[in-house]
Amino acid sequence: MEPSEVKIGFIGAGNMAFGITKGILLSGGVLPRNVTVSAPSSNNLGRFQELGAAVTHSNTEAVAASRLIFLAVKPHLVPAILREVAPHVTREHVVVSVAAGVTIATLEELLPPESVVLRLMPNLPCMVQEGALLFSRGSRAGPGEGALLKTLLGPCGLVEEGPESWIDAHTGLSGSGVAFVYLFAEALADGGVKMGMPSALAQRIAAQTVLGAGRLLRDSGRHPAQLRSDVCTPGGTTIYGLHALELGGLRAAVMGAVEAATERARELGRK
Amino acid sequence: MSVGFIGAGQLAHALVKGFTAAGVIATHKIMASSPDTELPTVSGLRKMGVNFTTSNKETANRSDVLFLAVKPHIIPFVLDEIGPDIQDRHLIVSCAAGVTISSIEKKLVQYRPAPRVMRCMTNTPVVVREGATVYAVGTHAEAEDGRLLEQLMASVGFCTEVEEDLIDAVTGLSGSGPAYAFTALDALADGGVKMGLPRRLAIRLGAQALLGAAKMLLDSEQHPGQLKDNVCSPGGATIHALHFLESGGFRSLLINAVEASCIRTRELQSLADQESISPAAIKKTTLDKVLQQPGVAAAGGPKAAVSLFNKSNPGRKRN
């Protein structure tokens, strides 16, 4: 299927759905009229309409109007939604679930046999087209569907495929990771305030520092340890600051955070 | 060319062993002196064929290149002793941690207008020709003096010239470094033994692992962080182990160690400048005997304690 011909549906109109919609429309690869979004209330549908997408309150209508369906509802709603739409899901459909903790096995169980299912874990910055997205193919999803999804989601940020076992780690690292970065940025700003800077300015500078460092890291292709070393002049300010971070056990704390979030994702997936 | 060592302890012994293994100088051209003939290194030196004497002056007279291989606080007294015997041909190389070239030159110009002085910081693995040495040249040392020293020291490992103000940092890193490694190896072996390995095998494997890793790093263009990544397969044994190291503050401990050694070196330097040991102590060069002298302050007293956790560096105490 050529990207521009694909009809895309969203069940759920929350931030994730919006972020992905923005991304795929931004590339120009999908026509707004080919996007249908359904949600029970009108609260969130306005911003989709502004983008030119079609909106509805009927999940089955969204399914019928689309080939590729994003399931973007809260995890506990998934079973009920799938039971509702299953009669309308055909072999031609491609179902992409964005629900955290809902396994491919569960999805395939609730959908008709032979259904094509993929599982996607995006993260919040999809909303500004700087997401980190990992997807995994179900038993009936072939490389073609994987390639389609990758092309479609490209404008949302970094898109990679992996085995389902990586999705929990991705949740811990990048899903929750966004919050870890916010915590770090807040602490950077607090440090600035302690050293005499007004808090609003410190926060803006902290945000820009994280952004700038992130861009250099992503675009340089160099190992973060190398970039770190490059900033550290002998006996200079940075190495003193880094020593304080090491004394504080930052590395272990961060590894522990990713581990804790991943373990929790696994736990939730088992329930 | 004759080489002399004032001091016949660990450093002199290690350097002689390395030089002779490298074949850069014959042992009969080497002389070493120490007032204390009981040192185990003295018999080691004798066995290697080195000329041994209790007279520092004799060593000075019989040498062209003179290594000062005594403890830092002894240096001023050694310089006063051999000062009159220093000739134009002499190249003085001080290996004493924390002792500045200017403090040595200040002493020697009382006897000679232009003493050729250099300062080096090496480490014990010179004994197996894998030393790490840096040197700085003094006011009157010629270019070829530096080259000569570099040739000598390069025969027993890595050697490069540096600005003198970096030497204390080098002491902290590679001077003390072997001790950090020995400590790590002892502990690694304990880990191996805990998990069922015989001790000797555990030591052998641990040492080889560190040796191999060091060689890989020296041969590689890659950052050690990258090399670490290459060893850590996803979800594997190594990354689990590394998390433990990080949780224990492994990196900060090593940073602290290098810093503490460097700071202490600077403290020793100011103690040497004070020349607080009595001249009578010059005949007894072991620290215990020196400290028995009345009125002599202990070099490692509380005032001189190294503290990283002061106002300017509030590290978090680890539990």
pLDDT digits (tens, 9 = 90+) for B146-203: 999 999 999 999 999 999 999 999 999 999 999 999 999 999 999 999 999 999 999 9
Q: Which of residues 250-279 of B touch A (CB under 8 A)?
A: 251-252, 255-256, 259
Greater confidence (A238 vs B274) lies with: A238
Question: What confidence category does residue B268 fall into, taking pLDDT thresholds of 50, 70 and 90?
Answer: confident
Give the mutation candidate from B246, B310, B317, B319 for the A interface (greatest A CB count, under 10 A). B246
Which residue among B229, B243, B251 places its CB closest to the CB of A246? Answer: B251
SS3 content of chain A, % helix, strand, coil (to 5): 60, 15, 25
- The answer as to whether A124 is a domain residue is yes
| pLDDT score for B267 | 86
A27 with A110, same domain: the answer is yes
Structure tokens at A142: 């072939």
Q: What is the mean pLDDT of residues A102-131?
A: 93
- The answer as to whether A191 is a domain residue is yes
| pLDDT score for A1 | 52
Q: What is the mean pLDDT of residues A180-200?
A: 95
Tell me, what CATH number does A181's domain have?
A: 1.10.3730.10
Domain that holds residue A36: 8-163
The residue from A104, A129, A163 where one domain ends is A163
A159 with A182, same domain: the answer is no
pLDDT of B270 higher than 80:
no
Strands of the B91-94 sheet, one edge to the other:
B51-53, B30-33, B3-6, B65-68, B91-94, B116-121, B131-137, B157-161
| pLDDT score for A29 | 78
A150 with A256, same domain: the answer is no
Taking an 8 Å cut-off on Cβ atoms, the answer to whether B316 and A249 are in contact is yes
Question: What confidence category does residue B277 fall into, taking pLDDT thresholds of 50, 70 and 90?
Answer: low
A14 with A148, same domain: the answer is yes
| Residue closest to B161 by CA, chosen among B101, B102, B217 | B101
- The answer as to whether A3 is a domain residue is no
The residue from A163, A189, A208 where one domain ends is A163
pLDDT of A209 higher than 70:
yes
| pLDDT score for A270 | 80
A155 with A180, same domain: the answer is no
Residues of chain B found within 8 Å of residue A249, distances taken between Cβ atoms: 246-247, 249, 252, 316, 318
Mean pLDDT score of chain A, rounded to an integer? 93
A184 with A143, same domain: the answer is no
- The answer as to whether A86 is a domain residue is yes
Inter-CA distances, A225 with A257, B228, B229, Å: 20, 10, 10
Contact A68/A94 with Cβ under 8 angstroms?
yes
Largest CA distance in chain A: 68
| pLDDT score for A23 | 86
- The answer as to whether A169 is a domain residue is no
pLDDT of A80 higher than 90:
yes
| pLDDT score for A66 | 96
What distance lies between CA B261 and its chain's CA centroid? Answer: 11
- Give the number of beta-carbon pairs within 8 Å between A and B: 49
Cα(B140)–Cα(B121) distance, integer angstroms:
19
- The answer as to whether A170 is a domain residue is no
| Residue closest to B166 by CA, chosen among B304, B70, B265 | B265
Kindly report, residue by residue over A9-65, the tens digit of the pLDDT: 999 999 889 989 988 888 777 899 999 999 999 989 999 999 999 999 999 999 999
A119 with A203, same domain: the answer is no
Which residue among B226, B243, B315 places its CB closest to the CB of A223? Answer: B226
Kindly report, residue by residue over B14-50, the tens digit of the pLDDT: 999 999 999 999 999 999 999 989 889 999 999 999 9
| pLDDT score for B307 | 58
Beta bridge partners of A157: A131
Q: What's the structural domain count of chain A?
A: 2
Contact B106/B98 with Cβ under 8 angstroms?
no
Would you say A59 is a known binding-site residue? yes
Cα(B92)–Cα(B60) distance, integer angstroms:
10
Residues of chain A found within 8 Å of residue B229, distances taken between Cβ atoms: 223
pLDDT of B310 higher than 50:
no
* Range in A2-16, A156-170, B2-16, B84-98 the model is least confident about: A2-16
Q: What is the mean pLDDT of residues B115-141?
A: 95
Inter-CA distances, A241 with A246, A248, B283, Å: 9, 11, 47
Mean pLDDT score of chain B, rounded to an integer? 87
Structure tokens at A245: 């971070």
Residues of chain B found within 8 Å of residue A255, distances taken between Cβ atoms: 243, 246
Cα(B3)–Cα(B91) distance, integer angstroms:
10
A121 with A193, same domain: the answer is no
- The answer as to whether A168 is a domain residue is no
Question: What confidence category does residue A269 fall into, taking pLDDT thresholds of 50, 70 and 90?
Answer: confident
Burial of B33 (0-12, 13-18, 19+ CB in 10 A): buried
The residue from A163, A192, A211 where one domain ends is A163
Give the mutation candidate from B223, B231, B310, B313 for the A interface (greatest A CB count, under 10 A). B223
| pLDDT score for B97 | 86
Question: What confidence category does residue B294 fall into, taking pLDDT thresholds of 50, 70 and 90?
Answer: low
Q: What is the mean pLDDT of residues A112-127?
A: 93
Contact B145/B91 with Cβ under 8 angstroms?
yes
| pLDDT score for A138 | 97
Question: What confidence category does residue A263 fall into, taking pLDDT thresholds of 50, 70 and 90?
Answer: very high
Kindly report, residue by residue over A126-176, the tens digit of the pLDDT: 888 899 999 999 999 999 999 999 999 999 999 999 999 999 999 999 999
Question: What confidence category does residue B276 fall into, taking pLDDT thresholds of 50, 70 and 90?
Answer: low
Q: What is the mean pLDDT of residues A83-110?
A: 94
HSE-up (13 A, CA, CB side) for residue B177: 19
pLDDT of B262 higher than 70:
yes
Helix (H, G, I), strand (E, B) or coil at B218: helix
- The answer as to whether A260 is a domain residue is yes
Question: What confidence category does residue B290 fall into, taking pLDDT thresholds of 50, 70 and 90?
Answer: very low
Question: What confidence category does residue B316 fall into, taking pLDDT thresholds of 50, 70 and 90?
Answer: very low
A231 with A192, same domain: the answer is yes
